[in-house]
Structure 1
Amino acid sequence: MTTVQQIVASNGQLHEIHESITAVFTGATHGIGLETLKAFLRYISKPKAILVGRNRQRFAPELEALRQLNQDAEISFLEAELSLISEVDRICETIKQRTPTNSISLLCMSQGYAPLGPRRFNKEGLDEAMTLGVYGRVRLAERLIHLSTLSTNARVVSILGGAKEDKLFLEDMELKENYSVMNFVVILPR
């Protein structure tokens, strides 16, 4: 297993390897996603970050703080409700339009939450937590993969419920029969 010291050393060399790369961050408005975005801005000399979140106005103070981390960073914020597949599709088209000649080197997805109550269904009839944690993430990767293939060493990172691995219900991946917080966390893509 990789040690923390190895990770820190590797991150410290990123500015020598990559002067400028483009990354898409979804759900990085707080928590581990936001901290990952901050590290990206610190370790890449001239990063281009496309941040997808629910509310630009509410995130404005944090966005300004992010710009102070790296004066050479190009950061854009796109509003979308990623609990809806139609919004995932719309935002993917917007991202494609904004990166016609540039490739995406990193797709980092951290949108979602652990459902602590009963299921909530969105207006498309899909479980909201499952859409954020699974369906929408797969759709984002599927829709943006062609932009990533243009970049050497492109990566897709999905962050949610780390270190909670357990038995999968292969016959019930939608958790229609086995729905619980812990079972939800287990089925999330790693």
Structure 2
Amino acid sequence: MMVSITAVRDNNGAIPRLYGSDLVAVFVGGTSGIGESTARAFIRNTTASRAYLIGRDQARASRIIEELRQIKPDSQAEFIKSDVSLLREVDEVCMDIKKKEDRLNLFFLSPGTGSMKGPDGMKARK
């Protein structure tokens, strides 16, 4: 049985009461689809939070970030351009976020579809 949309919205609305403010979230695949929608819900339902959108499309990310600022001016959103099908880029994104944050509250992974035969394959190349 699927959870009702009302229950989801009620739960989202309880986030500030349950978890407080100043949450940090990463949205891999945050420039479209489920990742984008979830980032919007996160910003809408939190206070003074930070969202990192990870993806490949700078233009789309810029538009989304501007919309997120309109939704909740006290929150921050930042785009990190990365192709997460490349293992070396995953490491770079992690190091970038670690330099800026001392914690991570939420991690969303919805990068779309990909092939296991990507440029790096299953082994990282240096």
Q: In the alignment, what sits opposite 2:40?
A: 38
C-alpha separation in 2, matches of 1:51 and 1:84: 17
Q: Secondary structure at the match of 1:78?
A: strand
Which range moved further: 67-76 or 53-62?
Answer: 53-62
C-alpha separation in 2, matches of 1:36 and 1:120: 26
Q: Secondary structure at the match of 2:70?
A: helix
% same residue = 32
Q: Is the 8 A contact 2:53 2:61 kept in 1?
A: no
The higher radius of gyration belongs to: 1
Compute the RMSD of aligned alpha carbons: 1.8
After superposition, what is the alpha-carbon deviation per residue over 1:39-97, rounded to whole angstroms, capped at 9, x for unaligned?
00000011111111113234212221121111001111111111111111111111111
| 2:45 counterpart of 1:49 | no
Q: Is the 8 A contact 2:58 2:81 kept in 1?
A: yes
Q: Normalising by structure 1, what TM-score?
A: 0.58
Counterpart pick for 2:100 among 87, 98, 123: 98
Deviation at 1:16, TM superposition (A): 2.5
Counterpart pick for 2:117 among 89, 100, 121: 121
Q: Is the 8 A contact 2:31 2:57 kept in 1?
A: no
Structure with bigger RCO (C-alpha 8 Å, 6+ apart): 2
Counterpart pick for 1:76 among 56, 72, 78: 78
Q: Normalising by structure 2, what TM-score?
A: 0.84
Unaligned runs of 5+ in 1: 127-190
Unaligned runs of 5+ in 2: none
After superposition, what is the alpha-carbon deviation per residue over 1:152-179, rounded to whole angstroms, capped at 9, x for unaligned?
xxxxxxxxxxxxxxxxxxxxxxxxxxxx
1:44 alignment partner AA? T
Q: Structure 1 segments of 4 or more deviating over 4 A?
A: none
Q: In the alignment, what sits opposite 1:7?
A: 8
Q: Secondary structure at the match of 2:103?
A: coil
C-alpha separation in 1, matches of 2:6 and 2:118: 42
1:91 alignment partner AA? V
Cα pair distance change 1:120/1:4, threshold 3 Å: closer
Counterpart pick for 1:19 among 18, 21, 28: 21
Deviation at 1:120, TM superposition (A): 7.2
Q: Secondary structure at the match of 2:52?
A: strand
